[in-house]
Amino acid sequence: MRWIGPVFVAAVFLASWLATFFGGRFGIGGWILITAVWPLVGLVMLFWFALVSAIRRRVTRTRGFSALLALPMVWPLAWAFGLGAVAYPASEALTRPSVAVRPPSDSPLRVVWGGSGLAHNRHASSPGQRWAYDLVVEPAVTGARSLADYGCFGTPVLAPIGGVVALASDGAPDLAIGETLADPAGLLGNHVVLKLETGTYLVIAHLKKGSVRVRTGDVVAESQVLGACGNSGNSSEPHIHLHHQRQNPNILQGDLNFGVNCVEGLPLTFRSLKGPERPRGGIEVRNNQVRLTGDTILYDGPG
């Protein structure tokens, strides 16, 4: 009877991980358990193991099994310190629909973050932004204090694909370099969300204050100007953020829902360009110098 509890916990923990490989709501629910619930359960189990073992001065097999089980449970706590983090394991082959879009600018774009692995895309650990991109126009990551010194700031942001504007937000300030976002509900800053023919949604974020040219309900054509690149929201420097998601943003409560574990991110690739359709990002730091190592993409006309 003493094994019933530990075995049941182990089975549910394993089921949480298995669910993430299939995506959808079950996958998102499993990931929430893995990243937010199981670490707390694991800490309680380790504390109980240490306390009871110290009091009784012996370790039973059930308590030892529980302690070993707790170790993978608390593993996600180390991710916040860059230790052993993994990408959200939903299979791209099983996640549909995928959408191919043109680059959101006519200028050459360097991919800061993009791709399927955490080494190339820091968004990959989030179900909502599993296949997201952060794009810049160089010069970038220079450490300059003025927003005007960044090539992306003020660059026209174009509709990557035709659609209906499901949500358009303007008025958020452009943050100074090094400034921290005060309102956690405004992670996207100024943004436009397009509803696509697939019934899914494309998010274009961190636009310049006062630059958004479209309104909710507008029908926009591919390559139409949506606004300009800015530094609003959760942004360390001017860049264009793109991600594709299943859920309607108008049903969600607040911008915070876009970037955490309550929406399902969908595959997103590029077309009509010079460069790889699935570009990868990357940042390298050497001798205190930051260098972009990601791919460069350039719009190459309709396709």
Sketch the domain layout of the chain as residue ranges: 4-81, 92-299
**Residue among 177, 176, 161, 178 at smallest CA distance from 299:** 161
Is 92-299 CATH 3.60.15.10? Answer: no
Per-residue pLDDT, 286: 86
Per-residue pLDDT, 210: 97
**pTM exceeds 0.85, yes or no:** yes
**Residue among 152, 112, 126, 80 at smallest CA distance from 284:** 112
Q: Which residue type is seen at 278? A: R
Residue 127, φ and ψ in degrees, nearest 5:
-55, -35
Confidence of residue 260 (pLDDT cuts 50, 70, 90): very low
Whether residue 16 has pLDDT greater than 90? yes
Q: Which residue type is seen at 248? A: N
Rounded Cα distance, 266 and 23, in Å = 10
Rounded Cα distance, 291 and 11, in Å = 44
Rounded Cα distance, 13 and 112, in Å = 34
Q: What does the pLDDT average to over 43-66? A: 92
